[in-house]
Amino acid sequence: MEIFDQVEKLIGEINAYPISNAEELEQFRIAYLGSKNSIKPIFGRIKDVPNERKKEFGQKVNEAKQTAEARFKELQSSLKNAGTSDKYKTFDPTLPMDGEWEGSRHPVSIVMNKIIHVFEKIGFEVAEEREIEDDWHNFTAMNTPEDHPARDMQDTFYLKDSKSSLLRTHTSSVQARVMTSQKPPIRIIAPGRVYRNETISARSHCQFHQVEGLYIDKNVSFADMKQTLLYFAREMYGADTDIRLRPSFFPFTEPSAEMDVWMGTDTDATKRLTKGTGWLEVLGCGMVDPNVLKNCDIDPEVYSGFAFGIGIERTAMQKYEINDIRLLFENDLRFLKQFSSAT
């Protein structure tokens, strides 16, 4: 019967359809699988087929349809593969590099790594902790009373409107984490990011970095702290660097001090940096308050210790003569490319 021949012809056509690119494949799809495909009208002629052959005819038309679908899938995936292999043909992994910039350390990382290295040399170990803290580790354990201004909503970023989940305001929270999980002697250095709800300007930011130090053992004295910090200053700023300790206050240390490093007043830059005094403020420190030890289940009758917190941004800004703290957080390549990739 002529109509059977037509289906047969159609199947032949589907099998022989030349396809070598995506466009031809799309034409094939429209011709045999689209809504106006050429299989449909042939099937419509089933009414002309005598009843006893209708089933056979239906099967034949189905075969045409399935052939088209199978061919489409097969061609689609072979075209896709051809695309990839083409790409690999033009990619030669043995070619020499074109000398592109290979990245560099961020100034904050350079300074942080340097500080870590200085303390590692005298036996401090790095302790890293969470940036999302609870109120206890950030404030309560650190002997910061309920009504201390640092707890104010203005300074602290609280999470989910809660008073207990917050972004740590200082790395001193790591002191509490370490003292509640390790037994003395403790000698750690804790670098990391901290957050305060401050107006962003050239001098201050809502995020910055600190390196915390904590040393707890029997018979640790203020003199031990002073000597450790002098060693640090000389490693950091040069062998004949002088330091001074000014009395200060922190809820978690008693007595407390701030350490300045002598920069001199010889140049305009050092004058500006030290506001004419020659002294640059570098860190806060002090003997760990007995209340803090008690809060962390360490007996203050047996153990004592010192702690300090170094601000990284300020040190980096001084070292690289960066006059706007915001540059450290913008990731502008023109700025970052100026630093070496070393350390």
Compute φ and ψ for 167, nearest 5 degrees.
Answer: -85, 125
Q: Which two tokens stand for residue 331?
A: 């990731």
Q: Which is nearer to ligand PHE, 61 or 214 (CB)?
A: 214
Query: Contact with ligand PHE (CB under 6 A): which of 64, 187, 309, 316?
Result: 309
Q: Which is nearer to ligand PHE, 71 or 168 (CB)?
A: 168
- Counting contacts by CB under 6 A, is residue 173 touching ligand PHE? no
- Most distant pair of Cα atoms in the chain: their distance: 111
Burial class (CB in 10 A: 0-12, 13-18, 19+), 326: middle
Question: CB 172 → ligand PHE: shortest distance, Å?
Answer: 4
What is the CB neighbour count within 10 angstroms for residue 133? 25
Query: Contact with ligand PHE (CB under 6 A): which of 60, 170, 209, 314?
Result: 170
Which of these, 123, 46, 117, 33, lies nearest to 75 by C-alpha position? 33
The total number of residues shown for the chain amounts to 343
Question: CB 161 → ligand PHE: shortest distance, Å?
Answer: 25
Which of these, 285, 281, 280, lies nearest to 309 by C-alpha position? 285
Q: Which is nearer to ligand PHE, 171 or 274 (CB)?
A: 171
Interface mask toward ligand PHE for 278-307; x: CB under 6 A: ------xxx--------------------x
Question: CB 147 → ligand PHE: shortest distance, Å?
Answer: 18
Interface mask toward ligand PHE for 190-219; x: CB under 6 A: ----------------------x-------
Question: CB 284 → ligand PHE: shortest distance, Å?
Answer: 3
Q: Which is nearer to ligand PHE, 222 or 339 (CB)?
A: 222
Determine how β-strand 186-195 pairs with β-strand 125-126: parallel
Instruction: Compute the C-alpha angle 206/210/251, nearest 5°.
Output: 90
Q: Give the position of tokens 């589907």.
A: 14
Residues sharing a CB contact under 8 Å with residue 78, sequence separation 6 or more, in sequence order: none
Question: CB 131 → ligand PHE: shortest distance, Å?
Answer: 14
Q: Which is nearer to ligand PHE, 191 or 286 (CB)?
A: 286
**Region 27-86 residues binding ligand PHE, contact defined as CB under 6 A:** none
Q: Which ranges in the chain belong to alpha helices (H)?
A: 2-16, 22-32, 39-44, 51-89, 107-120, 135, 172-179, 222-237, 268-273, 290-295, 312-320, 327-330, 333-336
Interface mask toward ligand PHE for 241-280; x: CB under 6 A: ---------x--x---------------------------
d(CA 285, CA 250): 8
Residue nearest to ligand PHE according to CB distances in the complex: 309
Residue 151, SS3 per DSSP: helix
Q: Which is nearer to ligand PHE, 67 or 315 (CB)?
A: 315
Give the residues lining the site for ligand PHE (CB under 6 A): 170, 172, 212, 250, 253, 284-286, 307-309
